[in-house]
Amino acid sequence: MRTLSLFAIILLINTISIYSVKAQTNIYDIQYVEPSSNSDISPYINQTVTVRGVVTATKEPGNLGTFFIQQPNLLAWAGIQLDYSIALSAVEMNDIIEVTGKVIEDDGVTKISSITKVDIKGKGSIQPVSFNPDAFTNSSLAKTEQYEGMLVSLNNTTQPIYVVNSNPNAPLNNGEWRVGSSLNDVQSGCRILTGVQSSSISSSLNVSYVNHVQWVTNAGVLNVAPIIINNGNQFYNITGVMTYNSDNIVLLPRTNDDFTKSAIVTALEDNLSFKKLNVYPNPMVTDAIIEFETNQVTTVSAEMYDLQGKFIQLLGHWTDLPVGSHKERIEPGDNVSSGNYLLKINCGSESRTLMVKVN
Protein backbone atom coordinates (compact mmCIF):
# COMPACT_ATOMS: atom_id res chain seq x y z
CA MET A 1 0.00 0.00 0.00
CA ARG A 2 1.30 3.40 -0.97
CA THR A 3 1.99 5.68 1.98
CA LEU A 4 0.25 9.07 1.77
CA SER A 5 2.53 12.06 1.89
CA LEU A 6 2.05 14.63 4.64
CA PHE A 7 0.83 17.11 2.01
CA ALA A 8 -1.80 14.66 0.75
CA ILE A 9 -3.04 13.99 4.29
CA ILE A 10 -3.39 17.71 5.01
CA LEU A 11 -5.21 18.19 1.70
CA LEU A 12 -7.57 15.32 2.50
CA ILE A 13 -8.35 16.71 5.96
CA ASN A 14 -9.04 20.18 4.55
CA THR A 15 -11.28 18.72 1.86
CA ILE A 16 -13.29 16.79 4.45
CA SER A 17 -13.57 19.93 6.60
CA ILE A 18 -14.81 22.05 3.69
CA TYR A 19 -17.53 19.57 2.78
CA SER A 20 -18.52 19.20 6.44
CA VAL A 21 -19.03 22.97 6.74
CA LYS A 22 -21.02 23.06 3.48
CA ALA A 23 -23.34 20.33 4.72
CA GLN A 24 -23.83 22.20 7.97
CA THR A 25 -24.65 25.52 6.29
CA ASN A 26 -27.86 24.34 4.63
CA ILE A 27 -30.90 25.87 6.28
CA TYR A 28 -32.73 22.66 5.39
CA ASP A 29 -30.36 20.60 7.55
CA ILE A 30 -30.69 23.02 10.46
CA GLN A 31 -34.51 23.06 10.32
CA TYR A 32 -35.38 19.49 9.36
CA VAL A 33 -36.69 17.19 12.05
CA GLU A 34 -38.33 13.82 11.64
CA PRO A 35 -42.10 14.19 12.17
CA SER A 36 -42.03 10.97 14.15
CA SER A 37 -39.43 12.39 16.57
CA ASN A 38 -42.05 14.36 18.56
CA SER A 39 -39.54 17.22 18.84
CA ASP A 40 -39.14 20.42 16.87
CA ILE A 41 -35.67 21.14 18.27
CA SER A 42 -32.99 21.62 15.62
CA PRO A 43 -30.27 18.94 15.47
CA TYR A 44 -27.79 21.85 15.40
CA ILE A 45 -29.02 23.42 18.65
CA ASN A 46 -26.28 25.48 20.37
CA GLN A 47 -23.85 24.91 17.50
CA THR A 48 -22.10 27.73 15.63
CA VAL A 49 -22.92 27.48 11.92
CA THR A 50 -22.51 29.44 8.71
CA VAL A 51 -25.72 29.60 6.66
CA ARG A 52 -26.55 31.15 3.32
CA GLY A 53 -29.94 32.39 2.14
CA VAL A 54 -31.97 35.07 0.41
CA VAL A 55 -33.36 37.80 2.67
CA THR A 56 -37.17 37.70 2.79
CA ALA A 57 -37.78 40.19 5.63
CA THR A 58 -35.70 42.94 7.26
CA LYS A 59 -35.58 45.74 9.79
CA GLU A 60 -35.40 48.29 6.98
CA PRO A 61 -37.88 51.19 7.29
CA GLY A 62 -41.17 50.03 5.83
CA ASN A 63 -40.55 46.30 6.33
CA LEU A 64 -41.35 43.60 8.91
CA GLY A 65 -39.00 44.68 11.68
CA THR A 66 -37.04 41.45 11.97
CA PHE A 67 -34.84 39.34 9.67
CA PHE A 68 -35.65 36.10 7.87
CA ILE A 69 -33.66 34.31 5.19
CA GLN A 70 -34.59 31.38 2.98
CA GLN A 71 -32.72 28.73 1.05
CA PRO A 72 -33.75 28.90 -2.63
CA ASN A 73 -35.41 26.16 -4.68
CA LEU A 74 -36.96 24.29 -1.76
CA LEU A 75 -40.63 23.87 -0.86
CA ALA A 76 -40.16 23.05 2.84
CA TRP A 77 -37.69 23.33 5.76
CA ALA A 78 -36.02 26.27 4.00
CA GLY A 79 -36.55 29.41 6.12
CA ILE A 80 -35.03 30.67 9.35
CA GLN A 81 -35.17 33.78 11.53
CA LEU A 82 -32.09 35.83 12.39
CA ASP A 83 -31.74 37.59 15.73
CA TYR A 84 -30.64 41.15 15.12
CA SER A 85 -26.96 42.01 15.19
CA ILE A 86 -25.16 45.18 14.14
CA ALA A 87 -23.52 42.99 11.51
CA LEU A 88 -26.92 42.92 9.74
CA SER A 89 -27.27 46.71 9.55
CA ALA A 90 -26.37 46.94 5.84
CA VAL A 91 -28.54 44.00 4.76
CA GLU A 92 -31.47 44.70 2.41
CA MET A 93 -34.39 42.76 0.97
CA ASN A 94 -33.41 40.08 -1.57
CA ASP A 95 -29.74 40.18 -0.60
CA ILE A 96 -28.02 36.80 -0.69
CA ILE A 97 -26.14 36.68 2.58
CA GLU A 98 -23.85 34.30 4.41
CA VAL A 99 -24.28 34.48 8.17
CA THR A 100 -22.22 32.97 10.99
CA GLY A 101 -23.97 32.54 14.31
CA LYS A 102 -25.35 30.15 16.90
CA VAL A 103 -28.46 28.00 16.45
CA ILE A 104 -30.96 28.52 19.28
CA GLU A 105 -34.55 27.62 20.06
CA ASP A 106 -36.60 30.57 21.33
CA ASP A 107 -40.17 29.79 22.44
CA GLY A 108 -40.49 27.10 19.78
CA VAL A 109 -38.83 29.13 17.00
CA THR A 110 -35.46 28.09 15.55
CA LYS A 111 -33.16 31.10 15.08
CA ILE A 112 -29.60 32.04 14.27
CA SER A 113 -28.41 34.19 17.18
CA SER A 114 -25.16 35.78 18.38
CA ILE A 115 -24.30 36.63 14.79
CA THR A 116 -20.62 37.50 14.38
CA LYS A 117 -20.21 37.75 10.62
CA VAL A 118 -22.38 38.68 7.63
CA ASP A 119 -21.22 38.64 4.02
CA ILE A 120 -23.43 39.98 1.24
CA LYS A 121 -22.95 37.78 -1.82
CA GLY A 122 -25.33 39.35 -4.33
CA LYS A 123 -29.06 39.53 -5.05
CA GLY A 124 -31.66 36.79 -5.33
CA SER A 125 -35.39 36.23 -5.02
CA ILE A 126 -37.76 33.83 -3.32
CA GLN A 127 -41.18 32.86 -4.60
CA PRO A 128 -43.63 32.09 -1.80
CA VAL A 129 -45.17 28.65 -1.48
CA SER A 130 -48.95 28.79 -1.89
CA PHE A 131 -51.58 27.26 0.41
CA ASN A 132 -55.24 27.42 1.30
CA PRO A 133 -55.30 29.16 4.72
CA ASP A 134 -57.20 26.23 6.23
CA ALA A 135 -53.97 24.19 6.01
CA PHE A 136 -52.65 26.24 8.95
CA THR A 137 -55.65 25.97 11.28
CA ASN A 138 -53.55 24.28 13.95
CA SER A 139 -49.81 23.99 14.50
CA SER A 140 -48.52 20.49 13.85
CA LEU A 141 -45.06 18.94 13.82
CA ALA A 142 -46.10 16.76 10.90
CA LYS A 143 -47.89 19.38 8.81
CA THR A 144 -46.84 22.96 9.64
CA GLU A 145 -43.39 22.82 11.26
CA GLN A 146 -41.71 22.50 7.85
CA TYR A 147 -42.92 25.98 6.84
CA GLU A 148 -41.55 27.82 9.88
CA GLY A 149 -39.53 30.82 8.68
CA MET A 150 -40.66 30.44 5.05
CA LEU A 151 -42.38 32.90 2.73
CA VAL A 152 -45.98 31.70 2.27
CA SER A 153 -48.96 32.98 0.27
CA LEU A 154 -52.50 32.24 1.47
CA ASN A 155 -55.23 32.04 -1.17
CA ASN A 156 -58.17 29.97 -2.36
CA THR A 157 -57.33 29.71 -6.07
CA THR A 158 -59.94 31.85 -7.87
CA GLN A 159 -62.13 32.39 -4.79
CA PRO A 160 -61.53 34.98 -2.06
CA ILE A 161 -60.41 34.20 1.45
CA TYR A 162 -62.31 35.74 4.36
CA VAL A 163 -61.63 37.24 7.74
CA VAL A 164 -63.52 34.53 9.63
CA ASN A 165 -62.59 35.63 13.15
CA SER A 166 -61.27 39.10 13.95
CA ASN A 167 -60.07 37.92 17.38
CA PRO A 168 -59.66 34.15 17.84
CA ASN A 169 -58.21 34.73 21.34
CA ALA A 170 -61.25 36.56 22.76
CA PRO A 171 -61.82 37.76 25.43
CA LEU A 172 -58.07 38.43 25.39
CA ASN A 173 -56.53 40.15 22.37
CA ASN A 174 -52.92 39.61 21.30
CA GLY A 175 -53.38 41.10 17.83
CA GLU A 176 -54.09 37.87 15.95
CA TRP A 177 -56.93 37.50 13.44
CA ARG A 178 -57.94 34.50 11.35
CA VAL A 179 -58.53 34.12 7.61
CA GLY A 180 -60.12 31.05 6.06
CA SER A 181 -61.91 29.76 3.00
CA SER A 182 -65.42 29.68 4.50
CA LEU A 183 -67.29 32.40 6.39
CA ASN A 184 -69.33 29.67 8.06
CA ASP A 185 -66.31 28.11 9.76
CA VAL A 186 -64.78 30.51 12.28
CA GLN A 187 -62.49 27.83 13.73
CA SER A 188 -60.62 27.00 10.51
CA GLY A 189 -57.98 29.10 8.82
CA CYS A 190 -54.61 30.70 9.39
CA ARG A 191 -53.89 33.24 12.10
CA ILE A 192 -52.48 36.58 10.94
CA LEU A 193 -50.49 38.81 13.30
CA THR A 194 -50.04 42.52 12.60
CA GLY A 195 -49.31 45.71 14.52
CA VAL A 196 -47.68 44.08 17.56
CA GLN A 197 -44.02 44.21 18.50
CA SER A 198 -42.92 42.73 21.80
CA SER A 199 -39.96 41.00 23.40
CA SER A 200 -41.23 37.65 22.10
CA ILE A 201 -42.36 38.48 18.55
CA SER A 202 -42.16 41.26 15.96
CA SER A 203 -45.08 41.66 13.60
CA SER A 204 -45.14 44.52 11.14
CA LEU A 205 -45.90 48.14 12.00
CA ASN A 206 -46.09 48.77 8.25
CA VAL A 207 -49.34 46.89 7.66
CA SER A 208 -52.58 48.86 7.94
CA TYR A 209 -54.81 45.89 8.80
CA VAL A 210 -55.13 45.39 12.58
CA ASN A 211 -57.90 43.85 14.66
CA HIS A 212 -58.38 46.71 17.18
CA VAL A 213 -57.60 50.39 17.60
CA GLN A 214 -55.33 49.56 20.55
CA TRP A 215 -52.68 48.28 18.12
CA VAL A 216 -52.32 51.71 16.55
CA THR A 217 -50.10 52.72 19.47
CA ASN A 218 -49.76 49.75 21.87
CA ALA A 219 -46.75 47.44 21.41
CA GLY A 220 -45.34 49.80 18.79
CA VAL A 221 -46.80 52.70 16.79
CA LEU A 222 -48.13 51.99 13.30
CA ASN A 223 -46.24 53.74 10.51
CA VAL A 224 -49.24 53.55 8.15
CA ALA A 225 -52.89 54.58 8.35
CA PRO A 226 -54.74 51.85 10.26
CA ILE A 227 -57.67 49.84 8.91
CA ILE A 228 -59.62 47.91 11.53
CA ILE A 229 -60.50 44.54 10.01
CA ASN A 230 -63.95 43.03 10.42
CA ASN A 231 -65.38 39.54 10.01
CA GLY A 232 -66.34 39.06 6.39
CA ASN A 233 -63.59 41.21 4.88
CA GLN A 234 -62.23 39.52 1.77
CA PHE A 235 -58.79 39.17 0.22
CA TYR A 236 -57.55 37.22 -2.75
CA ASN A 237 -54.07 36.69 -1.38
CA ILE A 238 -52.04 37.40 1.77
CA THR A 239 -48.28 36.83 1.77
CA GLY A 240 -45.91 36.77 4.72
CA VAL A 241 -43.43 34.78 6.77
CA MET A 242 -44.63 31.83 8.85
CA THR A 243 -43.61 31.62 12.49
CA TYR A 244 -44.95 30.67 15.91
CA ASN A 245 -46.59 32.86 18.54
CA SER A 246 -47.49 31.19 21.84
CA ASP A 247 -47.62 27.78 20.14
CA ASN A 248 -49.87 29.07 17.36
CA ILE A 249 -48.65 29.01 13.77
CA VAL A 250 -49.08 32.57 12.45
CA LEU A 251 -48.37 34.49 9.27
CA LEU A 252 -46.45 37.77 9.49
CA PRO A 253 -47.23 40.02 6.50
CA ARG A 254 -44.48 42.59 5.95
CA THR A 255 -46.20 45.54 4.21
CA ASN A 256 -49.53 46.46 2.65
CA ASP A 257 -48.15 45.15 -0.64
CA ASP A 258 -48.46 41.64 0.83
CA PHE A 259 -52.26 41.95 0.56
CA THR A 260 -54.25 41.52 -2.64
CA LYS A 261 -57.70 42.86 -1.90
CA SER A 262 -60.92 41.59 -3.40
CA ALA A 263 -63.18 44.02 -5.21
CA ILE A 264 -65.50 44.01 -2.18
CA VAL A 265 -62.76 45.08 0.23
CA THR A 266 -61.61 47.74 -2.22
CA ALA A 267 -65.15 49.08 -2.52
CA LEU A 268 -65.64 49.17 1.24
CA GLU A 269 -62.36 51.00 1.77
CA ASP A 270 -63.22 53.46 -0.98
CA ASN A 271 -66.42 54.55 0.76
CA LEU A 272 -64.15 57.17 2.28
CA SER A 273 -61.29 58.55 0.25
CA PHE A 274 -58.84 58.22 3.12
CA LYS A 275 -56.02 59.61 1.09
CA LYS A 276 -57.80 62.91 1.60
CA LEU A 277 -58.83 62.32 5.19
CA ASN A 278 -57.53 65.21 7.26
CA VAL A 279 -58.01 66.70 10.72
CA TYR A 280 -57.01 70.28 11.48
CA PRO A 281 -55.81 71.96 13.52
CA ASN A 282 -53.89 69.12 15.09
CA PRO A 283 -53.10 69.69 17.93
CA MET A 284 -56.56 71.14 18.67
CA VAL A 285 -57.61 73.33 21.57
CA THR A 286 -61.40 73.49 21.62
CA ASP A 287 -62.45 72.04 18.27
CA ALA A 288 -61.23 70.77 14.90
CA ILE A 289 -62.42 70.09 11.37
CA ILE A 290 -62.58 66.61 9.82
CA GLU A 291 -62.21 66.78 6.06
CA PHE A 292 -63.02 63.74 3.93
CA GLU A 293 -64.67 62.52 0.75
CA THR A 294 -67.37 59.95 0.06
CA ASN A 295 -68.11 58.22 -3.22
CA GLN A 296 -71.67 57.18 -2.33
CA VAL A 297 -74.49 58.26 -0.01
CA THR A 298 -73.41 57.01 3.39
CA THR A 299 -73.28 57.52 7.15
CA VAL A 300 -70.09 58.64 8.88
CA SER A 301 -69.28 58.89 12.58
CA ALA A 302 -66.29 60.04 14.61
CA GLU A 303 -65.29 58.47 17.94
CA MET A 304 -62.53 59.34 20.40
CA TYR A 305 -60.49 56.71 22.29
CA ASP A 306 -57.58 56.90 24.67
CA LEU A 307 -54.29 55.23 23.71
CA GLN A 308 -55.31 52.02 25.48
CA GLY A 309 -58.38 51.73 23.22
CA LYS A 310 -60.92 52.85 25.85
CA PHE A 311 -63.91 54.68 24.36
CA ILE A 312 -64.06 58.35 25.45
CA GLN A 313 -66.94 59.88 23.51
CA LEU A 314 -68.86 60.14 20.25
CA LEU A 315 -67.75 63.33 18.50
CA GLY A 316 -70.15 63.28 15.57
CA HIS A 317 -72.65 61.23 13.59
CA TRP A 318 -73.68 62.34 10.12
CA THR A 319 -76.32 60.46 8.14
CA ASP A 320 -77.15 60.41 4.43
CA LEU A 321 -74.03 62.30 3.42
CA PRO A 322 -74.02 62.84 -0.35
CA VAL A 323 -71.20 61.95 -2.70
CA GLY A 324 -68.37 64.49 -2.59
CA SER A 325 -66.20 66.47 -0.18
CA HIS A 326 -67.21 67.12 3.41
CA LYS A 327 -66.01 69.22 6.32
CA GLU A 328 -67.45 68.45 9.74
CA ARG A 329 -66.67 70.11 13.06
CA ILE A 330 -65.81 68.07 16.15
CA GLU A 331 -65.60 69.40 19.72
CA PRO A 332 -64.12 67.23 22.49
CA GLY A 333 -65.98 67.70 25.77
CA ASP A 334 -64.70 69.52 28.81
CA ASN A 335 -63.92 66.16 30.39
CA VAL A 336 -61.18 65.50 27.80
CA SER A 337 -57.84 66.48 29.31
CA SER A 338 -54.72 67.46 27.38
CA GLY A 339 -52.89 64.60 25.71
CA ASN A 340 -52.83 62.24 22.74
CA TYR A 341 -55.95 60.38 21.59
CA LEU A 342 -57.15 58.11 18.81
CA LEU A 343 -59.80 59.49 16.46
CA LYS A 344 -61.73 56.67 14.78
CA ILE A 345 -63.71 57.58 11.65
CA ASN A 346 -66.37 55.01 10.71
CA CYS A 347 -67.96 54.68 7.28
CA GLY A 348 -70.29 51.74 6.81
CA SER A 349 -68.47 48.63 8.07
CA GLU A 350 -64.99 50.13 7.60
CA SER A 351 -62.99 52.57 9.70
CA ARG A 352 -59.76 54.53 9.85
CA THR A 353 -57.95 55.74 12.94
CA LEU A 354 -55.81 58.85 13.33
CA MET A 355 -53.71 60.15 16.19
CA VAL A 356 -54.83 63.57 17.46
CA LYS A 357 -53.56 65.80 20.24
CA VAL A 358 -55.60 67.99 22.54
CA ASN A 359 -53.81 70.97 24.09
| pLDDT, tens digit, 9 for 90 and up, residues 300-331 | 899 988 876 788 899 999 988 888 888 999 99
Name the pLDDT band for 77 (thresholds 50, 70, 90): very high
For 274, phi then psi, to 5°, come to: -70, -10
| Class of residue 192 by CB neighbours under 10 A (exposed 0-12, middle 13-18, buried 19+) | buried
| pLDDT, tens digit, 9 for 90 and up, residues 148-189 | 999 999 999 878 999 999 999 999 999 999 999 998 899 999
Query: What is the CATH topology of the domain spanning 274-358?
Result: Immunoglobulin-like (2.60.40)
Q: Note the Cα 152 to chain centre separation in Å.
A: 12
Say how far apart CA 68 and CA 91 lie, in whole Å: 11
Domain range list for the chain: 6-123, 129-267, 274-358
pLDDT of residue 106: 93
Closest CA to 344 of 321, 316, 322, 324: 316
CA distances from 62 to 102, 151, 223, 261 (A): 28, 17, 8, 20
Handedness of CA 203, 204, 207, 213 (dihedral sign): positive
- Beta carbons of 119 and 152 less than 8 angstroms apart: no
Name the pLDDT band for 5 (thresholds 50, 70, 90): low
Report field, pTM of the whole predicted structure over 0.85: no
Q: Residue 5 gets which letter from DSSP?
A: P
273 membership: H or E segment, kind and range: none
| pLDDT, tens digit, 9 for 90 and up, residues 215-261 | 888 888 888 878 888 898 889 999 999 999 988 999 999 999 999 87
User: What is 6-123's CATH number, 2.40.50.200, 3.40.50.720, 3.40.30.10, 3.40.50.880?
Assistant: 2.40.50.200
